[in-house]
Amino acid sequence: MTPFSVAWSESDVDSMLRRVRDFKLPPAPASSGWTYGCDAAFLERLREYWLSKYDWRAAMARLNRFPQFTARIGDLDIHFVHVRGEGSTPRPLMLTHGWPGSHYEFWRLIEPLAFPSRHGGCTEDAFDVVVPTLPGFGFSSKPAGPMGQRATATMWNELMTQVLGYERYLAQGGDWGAVVTSWLGVDHGPSVCAIHLNMMGLRSMSPARNEAEQRWLAASQLAQMQFSGYAALQMSKPQSLAWAAANNPLGQAAWIAERFHDWSDLRTHDFEAVHPLDELLSNIMIYVMTDSFVSSAWYYPGVAHEGFCILPEGKRCETPTAYVSFPGDSLVPSPPRSRVELLYNLTRWREFEHGGHFAAMECPTELLQDLREWARESWQ
């Protein structure tokens, strides 16, 4: 383990901001809003905020708030946050992010998870919190080519058991983090005593078995048609995206911001209330300043190489599994309980009234409470 801290130089940030300033925005259809991609008026506002109001030094200080390290696992240096919790017996908990998020997704959760007594909780609810950065993302090394989530799960288990020395641990994830966490449950059950998901990571070729599953499959197909054009490109031709986005931080920001806008629960709040510009830009900066916009897209062919997370008929994840449903996730509609039970040893089910794809950022209070309750039931 090597201590790590974010260290963006003034010259590198100035160079990046010059490209943001000099980029000429192309024309957009009149009054189209977010219909055809990132809203032009929002992107211009984001650029102005980035150039004149975003305090990158303060953002860097926030990113260095918690102890961070890198560790060599296989051929890669994996970046991770490691915060040891209060009390005598904090339980190890790994949190895994997705795309286009980052380890920063969990910033609001880390301290109350590790130090619950500072936030109205009990010391007995404390965790040792581990938040790794996926291969090819942010401050982790870039693999030589596409790498899958099942292979990542094997690396994560090595991180927890061999690098950090935990014999047993808990794991949570959404988006790609849900896929990695699911494979932890499938392949590393002796070490992973329970998993917690806010997206179903595994798939089955079994047809719908009841009316609820039929409705869910229809909603999922519609969501794929509306919101998954980006995934088709990133899964099939990610390098084409590389040529278009190279040296274009504002273009990368538009691609990322569109996902946050389209996948979040905006039924009762506007976009910038759910994702303040400072937080959105800090997440974008992690991609831009590490040149990981394209290498993170390589993670999409990885799922194809590993078989699209499809389990053979009759096989499921036998590790005890908790599932939390957030109804505002437009990309991945929440499945009915029967579908989750087909693929997981489901021991806990929770439905919330609001929240979307980015649960840790959109609903940190609700997710925190559910993690505490789940851990009390699961850790023995």
Integer Cα distance of 130 and 128 in angstroms: 7
Angle of the 149-158 helix axis to the 176-187 helix axis, nearest 10: 60
pTM check: above 0.95: yes
Q: Where along the chain do its domains lie? A: 2-201+225-378
Integer angstrom CA distances of residue 252 from 114, 168, 245 = 33, 39, 6
User: Closest Cα to residue 344, out of 183, 171, 158?
Assistant: 183
Question: According to the CATH classification, is domain 2-201+225-378 in 3.40.50.1820?
Answer: yes
21-41 burial, b if ≥16 CB within 10 A, otherwise e? eeeeeeebeeeeeeeebbbbe
Start-to-end CA distance of the chain, whole Å, equals 28
For the chain, 380 residues long, the average pLDDT of each consecutive 10-residue run is 97 98 93 94 97 98 98 98 96 98 98 96 97 98 96 98 98 98 97 98 94 96 92 92 92 97 96 98 98 95 94 94 97 96 98 97 97 95
**For residue 54, what is the DSSP state?**
-
Integer Cα distance of 284 and 153 in angstroms: 25
Integer Cα distance of 375 and 368 in angstroms: 11
pLDDT at site 42 = 97
- Report how far Cα 293 is from the mean position of its chain's Cα atoms: 14
Angle of the 238-245 helix axis to the 249-263 helix axis, nearest 10: 130
Non-local (6+) Cβ contacts of 292 within 8 A are 136, 137, 138, 142, 286
pLDDT at site 380 = 78
Could you tell me how many residues make up the chain?
Answer: 380
